[in-house]
């Protein structure tokens, strides 16, 4: 059976500065899932606007949203829409990684830091447990979730090493006007004003 996963890039698509680059992070997550489960196990879509209409059209089984802090309110609104349709919601990106306590009641799980290995484990739990079971979630590194309304942060997941084991992003899912590439990941420094220290 095919699982339908909707990735939502929580940006203001009308602002060219936000829509200029393809969301490579989501492409990496899709590639990780294809590598772990097979090329045809999941059906993906990537959206950045008209979220409710896209949910009605695509009919996903689960939704994963990414957002920076400036767009976290937009991501929260999208999570709320997904919940209106009874969908489990995974939250990822810089904001939730930096501030795990900001996980809202409309978000089931937040991925903290790199997501490639984490999303594979989350989707394995989702399929094997017919949902995001809290007991199973407790065993996954690098996430935050709520149990009885209380946020639970699991053990930090170590960075992926070597980076060469990460598959190239699934560019077939991404629409872009110009080709972009990610040439590095993170930074060895821990400047308090920079989000990269969370990754």
* pLDDT tens per residue across all 199 residues of the chain: 799 999 999 999 888 888 878 888 999 999 999 999 999 999 999 999 999 999 999 999 999 999 999 999 999 999 999 999 999 999 999 999 999 999 999 999 999 999 999 999 999 999 998 899 999 999 999 999 999 889 999 999 998 888 888 999 999 898 776 777 766 676 777 787 776 666 5
pLDDT at 199: 56
Listed in sequence order, the DSSP H helices in 38-144 are: 51-58, 72-84, 94-98, 116-128, 134-137
Q: How many CA atoms lie within 13 A of 136 on its CB side?
A: 15
Domain boundaries of the chain, sorted by first residue: 3-151+178-198
Q: Is 169 exposed, middle or buried (0-12, 13-18, 19+ CB in 10 A)?
A: buried
Q: Which among 79, 62, 81, 41 has a CA at the least distance from the CA of 130?
A: 62
Per-residue confidence (pLDDT) for residue 18, from 0 to 100: 83
Q: What share of the chain is helix, strand, coil (3-state, %, to 5)?
A: 40, 15, 45
CATH no., domain 3-151+178-198: 3.40.50.2300
Output the pLDDT for position 186. 66
């Amino acid at each position: 059976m095919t699982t339908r996963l909707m990735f939502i890039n929580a940006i203001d698509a009308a602002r060219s500065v936000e829509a200029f680059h393809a969301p490579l992070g989501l492409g990496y997550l899709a590639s990780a899932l294809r590598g772990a489960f097979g090329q045809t196990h999941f059906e993906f879509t990537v959206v950045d606007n008209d979220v409710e209409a896209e949910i009605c059209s695509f009919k996903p089984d689960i939704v994963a949203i990414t957002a920076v802090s400036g767009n976290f309110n937009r991501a929260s609104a999208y999570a709320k829409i997904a919940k209106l349709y009874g969908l489990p919601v995974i939250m990822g990106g810089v904001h939730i990684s930096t501030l795990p306590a900001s996980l809202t009641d409309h978000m089931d799980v937040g991925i903290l830091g790199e997501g490639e290995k984490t999303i594979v484990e989350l989707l394995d739990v989702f399929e094997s447990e017919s949902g995001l079971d809290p007991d199973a979630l407790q065993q996954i590194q690098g996430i935050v979730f709520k149990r009885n309304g209380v946020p639970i942060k699991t053990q930090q997941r170590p960075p992926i090493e070597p980076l060469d084991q990460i598959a190239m992003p699934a560019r077939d899912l991404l629409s872009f006007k110009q080709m972009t590439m990610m040439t590095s990941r993170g930074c060895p420094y821990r400047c308090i004003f920079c989000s990269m220290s969370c990754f």
